[in-house]
Amino acid sequence: MGAVAHKPKLYEQVAERLEEAITAGTLRPGDKLPSVRQLSLRERVSISTVLQAYLHLEAEGLIETRPQSGHYVRRRERPQLAEPQLSRPASTATLVTVSSLVASVYQSMGDARMVQLGAASPSPELLPTRRLFRELNALTRDARDRGVQYDVLPGCVELRQQLARRSMDWGCSLAMDDFITTFGASEAVHLCLLAVARPGDTIAIESPAYYGTLQAIEALGLRALEIPSCPCNGMQMEALEAALTRRRIAAVLVVPSFSNPVGSCMPDVRRQRLVNLLDAHDVPLIEDDIYGDLHFGPERPRSCKAFDKRGNVMLCGSFSKTLAPGFRVGYVAPGRFRERVELLKFSTSVTTATLPQYAIARFLQSGGYDRHLRSLRRRLCAQVQRMTSAVAEFFPEGTRVTRPTGGQLLWVELPQQVDVLTLHAKALEAGISIAPGPIFSARTDTYRNCFRLSCGHPWTPRIEAAMATLGALARSLA
Amino acid sequence: MGAVAHKPKLYEQVAERLEEAITAGTLRPGDKLPSVRQLSLRERVSISTVLQAYLHLEAEGLIETRPQSGHYVRRRERPQLAEPQLSRPASTATLVTVSSLVASVYQSMGDARMVQLGAASPSPELLPTRRLFRELNALTRDARDRGVQYDVLPGCVELRQQLARRSMDWGCSLAMDDFITTFGASEAVHLCLLAVARPGDTIAIESPAYYGTLQAIEALGLRALEIPSCPCNGMQMEALEAALTRRRIAAVLVVPSFSNPVGSCMPDVRRQRLVNLLDAHDVPLIEDDIYGDLHFGPERPRSCKAFDKRGNVMLCGSFSKTLAPGFRVGYVAPGRFRERVELLKFSTSVTTATLPQYAIARFLQSGGYDRHLRSLRRRLCAQVQRMTSAVAEFFPEGTRVTRPTGGQLLWVELPQQVDVLTLHAKALEAGISIAPGPIFSARTDTYRNCFRLSCGHPWTPRIEAAMATLGALARSLA
């Protein structure tokens, strides 16, 4: 055995420095890169290392080779696309019935033969699996009995300590006892909904919203009130305020950082306003911060919880989008609802599985998580840019696309006349899976010309071909 | 590394054969065992192996050494105690409020300094941890990418295949697609309750009932209707039938095999009657079969699901009481509620964690589970007998105790005047944790002279001393 720590190879280091320069705009589309010999001298590496670095960047779609000329930063093929506009959902609360449509979409998302442009999970090659598994294997030697036994509520001490430390980066200073570990952010949100709402109650959400949230609302017999939201800055405060005065709302649920599906990121001032507004109305805020660690800019967005003075914010998060979806490890800091959420956690699943929690805690303790995040963010940023270029290149005139500053998702708005369910069906026939717009609303007649694109996979010729096919299909429907 | 298969040592094999003879009644309390030399000749093992086997059986409390005389099967110190009688809970449905009491009890259950006579989980030394961890380690080599990714609903194919095969032993013949894997039986029961009941609805349960079930009912804002139950044969059908005609009941929830806390086991004829009765009233049955594999007799009890013709039975189970509580792997076969339960599973926790499921599936495939169960059942049976003797030896006149035919729990009924919450408090001071009766009822004024005893730990002088202390405390309160 005796696995050793993964050090980036030389060519990866060279590629990363170039990638940073491209992401930061130091190198712009169309710029010529240094010649192989120049770079070899500058970086003090061999010619073959430089060649490998250039091949790698080319595979990622960041640069291109022009025969007899050299290497260039890849140009966007067309002028930048417009962003979609503010959403205008129906103003009444709706009993959600999105499930049957989701089920059929979800089926195709699990099909390995499809080109997966729909699912929102990072590709396994972006995850530090080897290092996580090393921690897991170490645990099976060092913590035998503990590993098979029930963990004790509120969850693994070491993990909660790490979360408390990390909460400083979120603008909070939570203590480890503020946290309860959960089976992913899904369980965290489920517990929060159970804690503050009863069947028939109304939950205000962004529009469009993650279909899993809609299903959680549907499953509990709740109503969804979709609030107009901006693809850039998230939920509109005026619209929410008006809704709060019109009817009783049991809770507001937002994904403030790099929301699913549109990737919006609420500015701090809006977060603060949201927290104050809900404090004034005594309505709890469920904050799903699952994408918060995936910022492309230098700073992590603060959490809404950072503005919470009364314990009114229930902060949910997980490691499913950054480390290991299949480990199912998440957390909730439920503020003043802590006791009720802990009771619900116990009666829902007793405690979170032991080994996955401890393995992640050890990985965090080792400092490996931050190093991994830096590289993951850079790669996702590059993949989002590459995918955006492909939309610009292949899709019909009038197509709009979001410009997320983090996460791994794009929201594409096609010309009005394109029916995305038809596009979805034709794409499936062509072996391509996308997430069509209607599953992101409680009313399945909305977002019929939109879809969500996942940028979780490194760019490959297979994905490029799929995007070309998808674009051609969309053009044929436009 | 290179761990090798765990073969029982020679002395363990010798001890096991004697233990079998004692459990089967071939060797009875007070019988003299063969001399060390005789046994050494008969078993063709060394003298020291026989001595080790006898030491082992003595440590387990099965035999005793009489100086200058030899080894004897341990005698029960007193005539067999009477069993508790049929429970007589209140006949009205109650909003459950057991949580705060449970929380304080539960706290002490997690305290490693306490002698744990309360918790219902098997002691780690009874679990095949090394073999499970070997499967887990193998998975981290063989199934890298799959191991970190989301599993796909309804859960690990290999595990569901094994469950389908095992369902033959339960008297069913379920297909793998009848199952959804869950985070333990707790999540399974939680999903079933969510699927068939809404806040305010009434759930009929056994009395006394597992406090986790009561909390699940409380957490969802449901009412518990406690049905009189016999410590031997479980829920009374006449009482249930009467309740069904008096009021609307959303579901009946039973633990038909070796129930928690009393260890009752419903006879087949009663199971059939229960299923037919609920069919006739169109009321779903939630069957929690978590202890079914722990029968002391040669045959596994059939599941109620075996009598289910209309898909009305929602069968829940897990590997928490037999393999690894901390893995949190269970399942549900929800019959005609399958679609709704799968939706709820997705929105509660997306899917069950990947690696723990696959590790258990591999262990089952290897045939290791059945071998392990045979040994676990023998040991639990011996521990239950040993604990029963200790109750007889140490507790006051008039104490009653159940005679379970499986599982790992005893229910002790003290003389009427003993207040078990006082006993619980005094026991805690003495470093002993028990599970007091009132947490097993929605009305915390019931079972005030009862408590649950866990037999999940191999007999040790520390446990013997704790039982003596506990008995003395009970006598002082009688």
Question: What ipTM is given for this predicted complex?
Answer: 0.83
Distance CA B402, CA B409 (A): 9
pLDDT (tens digit per residue) in A172-229: 989 999 999 999 999 999 999 999 999 999 999 999 999 999 989 988 989 999 999 9
Structure tokens at B10: 């020679």
- Contact present, B419 and B275 (Cβ < 8 Å): no
- Domain boundary residue, one of A317, A336, A367: A367
Residue A80 is assigned to a structural domain of this protein: no
**Shortest CA distance from A348: residue in chain B:** B187
Distance CA B86, CA A210 (A): 51
Residue A86 is assigned to a structural domain of this protein: no
- Domain boundary residue, one of B325, B341, B368: B368
- DSSP string for B122-190: --GGGS-HHHHHHHHHHHHHH-HHHHHSPPPTT--HHHHHHHHHHGGGGT----GGG-EEESHHHHHHH
The answer on A154 and A263 residing in a single domain is: yes
Q: What SS3 class is residue B411?
A: strand
**Shortest CA distance from A182: residue in chain B:** B349
Phi and psi based region of residue A282 (left: phi greater than 0; alpha: psi -120 to 50; beta: remaining): left
The answer on B140 and B118 residing in a single domain is: no
Provide the pLDDT for residue A81: 80
Residue B157 is assigned to a structural domain of this protein: yes
Domain that holds residue A224: 144-367
Q: What SS3 class is residue B454?
A: strand
**Shortest CA distance from B319: residue in chain A:** A148
Which chain B residues are Cβ-neighbours of A133 within 8 angstroms? 140, 144, 147
Q: Indicate the residue type of A108.
A: S
Which chain B residues are Cβ-neighbours of A351 within 8 angstroms? 326, 328
Closest-CA distance of chain A to residue B67, Å: 37
Reported as a pLDDT band with limits 50, 70 and 90, residue A19 is confident
Reported as a pLDDT band with limits 50, 70 and 90, residue A30 is confident
Taking only Cα atoms into account, the Rg of chain B, rounded to an integer number of angstroms, comes to 23
Provide the pLDDT for residue A99: 65
User: Between β-strands A94-95 and A70-73, what pairing exists: parallel, antiparallel or unpaired?
Assistant: unpaired
Residue A442: pLDDT over 90: no
Residue in B105, B150, B198 to test binding to A, most A beta-carbons within 10 Å: B150
Reported as a pLDDT band with limits 50, 70 and 90, residue A4 is very low
Which chain A residues are Cβ-neighbours of B104 within 8 angstroms? none
Which chain B residues are Cβ-neighbours of A325 within 8 angstroms? 148-150, 350
- Alpha-carbon distances, residue A442 vs A111, A189, A402 (angstroms): 25, 18, 21
CATH number, domain with residue A165: 3.40.640.10
Distance CA A408, CA A157 (A): 31
Residue A151: pLDDT over 50: yes
Asked if A147's CB is within 8 angstroms of B133's CB, the reply is: yes
The torsion angle over the Cα atoms of residues B249, B253, B257 and B260, rounded to 10 degrees, is: -120
**Shortest CA distance from B219: residue in chain A:** A344
Beta-carbon contacts of A379 under 8 Å, excluding residues fewer than 6 positions away, are: A60, A126, A458
- Alpha-carbon distances, residue B101 vs B187, B211, B437, B438 (angstroms): 22, 10, 11, 8
Residue A39: pLDDT over 50: yes
- Contact present, B263 and B402 (Cβ < 8 Å): yes
Provide the pLDDT for residue B59: 75
Residue in B121, B149, B323, B351 to test binding to A, most A beta-carbons within 10 Å: B149
Residue B218 is assigned to a structural domain of this protein: yes
Distance CA A103, CA A74 (A): 38
Which chain B residues are Cβ-neighbours of A348 within 8 angstroms? 186-187, 190, 216, 219, 348
Q: Could you list the mean pLDDT of each consecutive 10-residue stretch along chain B, which spans 478 residues?
A: 52 84 77 90 90 85 83 72 82 67 74 86 91 94 84 94 95 95 97 95 96 90 93 93 96 98 94 97 98 94 96 98 96 96 92 96 94 95 94 94 95 96 94 93 88 94 96 96
Residue A369: pLDDT over 90: yes
Nearest to B194 among A121, A129, A219 (CB): A219
The answer on B316 and B445 residing in a single domain is: no
Provide the pLDDT for residue B352: 96
The answer on B38 and B176 residing in a single domain is: no
Residue B19 is assigned to a structural domain of this protein: yes
Which chain A residues are Cβ-neighbours of B219 within 8 angstroms? 194, 343-344, 347-348
Backbone angles phi, psi at A177, to 5 degrees: -80, -5
Which chain A residues are Cβ-neighbours of B151 within 8 angstroms? 326
The answer on A149 and A31 residing in a single domain is: no
Please tell me the pTM assigned to this model: 0.84
The answer on B165 and B45 residing in a single domain is: no
The answer on B347 and B275 residing in a single domain is: yes
The answer on B387 and B312 residing in a single domain is: no
Which chain B residues are Cβ-neighbours of A150 within 8 angstroms? 121, 320, 325-326
User: Between β-strands B400-401 and B409-413, what pairing exists: parallel, antiparallel or unpaired?
Assistant: antiparallel
- DSSP string for A156-200: -HHHHHHHHHHTTTTT----GGG-EEESHHHHHHHHHHHHH--TT
Asked if B149's CB is within 8 angstroms of A121's CB, the reply is: yes
CATH number, domain with residue B414: 3.90.1150.10
User: Between β-strands B251-254 and B202-207, what pairing exists: parallel, antiparallel or unpaired?
Assistant: parallel
Beta-carbon contacts of B388 under 8 Å, excluding residues fewer than 6 positions away, are: B76, B81, B401, B403, B410
Reported as a pLDDT band with limits 50, 70 and 90, residue A76 is low
- Domain boundary residue, one of A73, A88, A110: A73
Provide the pLDDT for residue B98: 61
The answer on A305 and A166 residing in a single domain is: yes
The answer on B306 and B194 residing in a single domain is: yes
Distance CA A339, CA A154 (A): 10
pLDDT (tens digit per residue) in B8-51: 788 888 888 888 777 767 788 888 898 999 899 888 899 999 99
Distance CA B250, CA B268 (A): 24
Provide the pLDDT for residue A60: 73
Nearest to A350 among B132, B184, B218 (CB): B184
Structure tokens at A152: 């004790």
The answer on B318 and B391 residing in a single domain is: no
Beta-carbon contacts of B431 under 8 Å, excluding residues fewer than 6 positions away, are: B113, B114, B115, B466
Residue A418 is assigned to a structural domain of this protein: yes
pLDDT, mean of residues A284-312: 96
Asked if B149's CB is within 8 angstroms of A325's CB, the reply is: yes
Structure tokens at B356: 């723990």
Of B214, B176, B200, B194, nearest in space to B347 by CA: B194
Distance CA B189, CA A436 (A): 33
- Contact present, B415 and B401 (Cβ < 8 Å): no
Asked if B212's CB is within 8 angstroms of A346's CB, the reply is: yes
Distance CA B431, CA B427 (A): 6
Residue in B111, B347, B351 to test binding to A, most A beta-carbons within 10 Å: B347
Residue B458 is assigned to a structural domain of this protein: yes
Q: How many domains does chain A have?
A: 3
Residue in A95, A139, A146, A348 to test binding to B, most B beta-carbons within 10 Å: A348
Quickly tell me which residue has 């209309």 as its tokens: B310
Which chain A residues are Cβ-neighbours of B198 within 8 angstroms? 199, 221
The answer on B412 and B335 residing in a single domain is: no
Asked if B194's CB is within 8 angstroms of A326's CB, the reply is: no
Residue A2: pLDDT over 50: no
CATH number, domain with residue B55: 1.10.10.10
Residue A91 is assigned to a structural domain of this protein: no
Nearest to A199 among B1, B199, B320 (CB): B199
Provide the pLDDT for residue A24: 65
Provide the pLDDT for residue B305: 98
- Contact present, A265 and A409 (Cβ < 8 Å): no
Count chain A–chain B contacts defined by CB atoms under 8 A.
185
Provide the pLDDT for residue B5: 38
Residue in B1, B148, B156 to test binding to A, most A beta-carbons within 10 Å: B148
Which chain B residues are Cβ-neighbours of A151 within 8 angstroms? 326
Reported as a pLDDT band with limits 50, 70 and 90, residue A1 is very low
Which chain B residues are Cβ-neighbours of A184 within 8 angstroms? 349-350
